[in-house]
Structure 1
């Protein structure tokens, strides 16, 4: 498909240094990591990996088959009893050692992430730092879990609550934050005493494979396994396999549905972190400059390929024109370019040609429906899959661009008249991952936040995360918690043991 969206010239900063961002000899083995070592797959097919900033092929990675998933599951099953019986202190020390190993190799990991995804270095470096902190937080959380106090709740009987690992957990991670989303899963799963078989996105497996290479000597064989390949093959096998005790996925709503259907056959637990369409409800008393400045990052970080991105502005009609002008000024100053084009590059390309064309098709449809591009609105010239940072205004009620997840550098602006109207429209989308409220009225901020149907609601801020706090969605955005001590609850089970102590 070729989009008819306009091409906008002269906005992508290109690299001037001929030196590669990552040396070929430093790439991780392009194989599966099973039972503590890299090994070729049972099949012969490979998947080419493309640098989306240039369109060049980086390397080819093994495309796994069901037999590869089965081998990894067998390794995880063999390792689960011994790992599950380790003390929290021991698991904590290993997680801290992993964090240290990642920190020692942070620069290399950031460059590899930028190569595979096209991310600007500032985004890739933030991802790696976040991954490191995730392991450090979970190392502490592993040693401080709490539950109902042991006690006598029935006469002459002492009740004790045990927290146990689930066993083998299958993990499917997305292409937008390859190592960070893997860390969000790996750290709490290991902290709770489980073993893992992880399928990274077929488009962006390199930092996950590098993680396996860097940490191979820190984890017992079989505790952490990676199988590369396609979702309908490897993800499906993990979801349906009877020896996988839980399947955890970060991805699209359609991927979540497929995993949940497959998992239902064995009645295994499912953890889903899916899409979003986060509204920003901006009232007439808000600090409009602060809101526009915040949205410059919150709407366009990682090129808008972010499930919690602020993508849908609902602004009071009395200040809409002023806010839109401020937003266009902010977004218009974003630096778009290749990862090696400078430390100040803020926005890179779409992840692939297919996704690039999908986002452009959304822009075509939006403008055909009557929306107007106050900024951007099309592709950027030259190699790679770059789309201009876009602000859409005059968005008709119910337009697809304001209802569906575009997953690109596109923010829509709509107006409202009353608070009830704003809340109704903010909640009308099928997603419920994140939202934000902008107002100087403290009482209004508490009330409106409580009425927004989203797992995370910011007040006078957007897209600020902390490992201590949970990240989870409502409605079509899935269920299950990432981050925080609550994640340990998701990846463990509680057992009640009651002792008769009558004498």
Structure 2
């Protein structure tokens, strides 16, 4: 269709037979998973799970209650002692077995994820691969933890540093990467010797429930528990529960604040991976073609529903027009469609009607502020919650679209004239998750990266992740780290034991 801007034509590629994506047999049990088995909820209410490509209901899950959380936490408490006492080698071998089980079910999990979220199959398959790698990395890392050397730091007293499990960890995961974000939490939590209760997003619970089904015979009962439901009820109870030792959330800033407040009374640890508004700072000497090509992926991966997305370009005024032309050329090549519409589909729908309305609302307000729509700019004809891949150019400093996390297939472009202005404006957002710098000047790249107030800064690339390196933000993007050995540290506690050996 032609967008409201009248600048480009985008056609949603539709699958000939959407029923071929998943069958009823592929769906997990529509229940909670507690103490090693699937159980009914304490209430009769259910939540519809909707396919965002067709707007049809594909499953109904129980709407969890505080009572359901209490039951799951009790199971996790009962299981924590035995799980914590396992040798690192034993836990490692179990995590490797989980990775093997996930890898063997890659196609099933990928299709289930795409059916629930609308993701292109290439994105869902990548998610499963990264989830497998997360478990493999943590399986190895837990056998090689390091700490300060034991020794006498006070006369005749030997100090030994121990790393212990926290106990029970509550987890709240988001709708944009249901399986992968669950893996980012579950793998280090189990590796560190904890048990857990996880609440997946009520919009995208299917792969988390399928994960529980696939590994039910591998983990002792109570080690992993899944309770469905809404954050205001189930998430809040999990955060405030006195027997939960830590609450870990990946989600919005508003959700992070709510969880932190609920956790305050019991003084439990809080781990927050929240939103992002990643600046992409492009200097005049940058390889503009490479930057535009990279942003085609980094700005629109997972339909831009990505907290590290390259969504806010700050480009030097002298090359801005050239760069916008190259970026628009790349974006117009993106293939929008349903998961089964072809292996080359790159952009799917927004995950829900509410999020679709949110994203299109930002676009409508940007047009009213006279922001130039270089390509895209609005909704695409339904069914489904599709938005045209969009580039907003000539965006003034302080504009809503350049400051707030749109979380959709939208890149904004601003200009700057000198380095100090670029750094100031890049940092002038409340979020601090990730950023990138584009320049061929090595000295400049080191200097600018050091001055940017973000947890991850890429140089001449964007949105490249690895299990060995940490992921997490500063400022309003939260605290704590996912991936890497830093995640293992987050889910453990340090104990100092001092022995008087004087004679």
TM-score, normalisation: structure 1: 0.98
C-alpha distance in structure 1 between counterparts of 2:386 and 2:194, whole Å:
40
Deviations 1:280-307 (A, max 9, x none): 0000000000000000000000000000
Structure 1 outlier segments of 4+, above 4 Å: 3-10
Confirm or deny: 8 A CA contact 1:369 1:396 kept in the other structure.
Answer: no
How do 1:115-264 and structure 2 match up within 5 A?
115-264=115-264
Q: How many residues align?
A: 501
Shift in Å, 1:18 = 5.2
C-alpha distance in structure 2 between counterparts of 1:304 and 1:351, whole Å:
11
C-alpha distance in structure 2 between counterparts of 1:455 and 1:370, whole Å:
33
Deviations 1:34-82 (A, max 9, x none): 0000000001100000000111110100110000000000000000011
How do 1:12-161 and structure 2 match up within 5 A?
12-17=12-17, 19-161=19-161
How do 1:369-388 and structure 2 match up within 5 A?
369-388=369-388
Secondary structure of 1:336's aligned partner:
coil
Confirm or deny: 8 A CA contact 2:168 2:244 kept in the other structure.
Answer: yes
Secondary structure of 1:380's aligned partner:
coil
How do 1:426-445 and structure 2 match up within 5 A?
426-445=426-445
Shift in Å, 1:381 = 1.3
How do 1:217-366 and structure 2 match up within 5 A?
217-366=217-366
Deviations 1:351-402 (A, max 9, x none): 0000000000000111111211100000111210000000001112200000
How do 1:410-421 and structure 2 match up within 5 A?
410-421=410-421
Secondary structure of 1:495's aligned partner:
strand
Secondary structure of 1:170's aligned partner:
strand
RMSD over aligned CA atoms reads: 1.2
Confirm or deny: 8 A CA contact 1:8 1:381 kept in the other structure.
Answer: no
Shift in Å, 1:19 = 4.1
User: Runs of 5+ in structure 2 lacking a partner?
Assistant: none
C-alpha distance in structure 2 between counterparts of 1:40 and 1:309, whole Å:
38
Match of 2:457 in 1: 457
C-alpha distance in structure 1 between counterparts of 2:140 and 2:111, whole Å:
29
C-alpha distance in structure 1 between counterparts of 2:111 and 2:63, whole Å:
24
C-alpha distance in structure 1 between counterparts of 2:395 and 2:8, whole Å:
21
Secondary structure of 2:340's aligned partner:
coil
C-alpha distance in structure 2 between counterparts of 1:487 and 1:221, whole Å:
24
Question: Which stretch of the first structure deviates more once superposed, 91-100 or 7-16?
Answer: 7-16
Deviations 1:216-270 (A, max 9, x none): 0000000000000000011000100000000000000000000000000100000
Shift in Å, 1:10 = 5.0
TM-score, normalisation: structure 2: 0.98
C-alpha distance in structure 2 between counterparts of 1:291 and 1:150, whole Å:
49
C-alpha distance in structure 2 between counterparts of 1:377 and 1:308, whole Å:
21
Measured at CA, do residues 234 and 8 of structure 1 come closer, stay the same or move farther in structure 2, by a change above 3 Å? Answer: farther
Confirm or deny: 8 A CA contact 1:8 1:379 kept in the other structure.
Answer: no
Confirm or deny: 8 A CA contact 1:110 1:124 kept in the other structure.
Answer: yes
Confirm or deny: 8 A CA contact 1:9 1:380 kept in the other structure.
Answer: no
Measured at CA, do residues 361 and 466 of structure 1 come closer, stay the same or move farther in structure 2, by a change above 3 Å? Answer: same
Match of 2:502 in 1: 502
Match of 2:424 in 1: 424
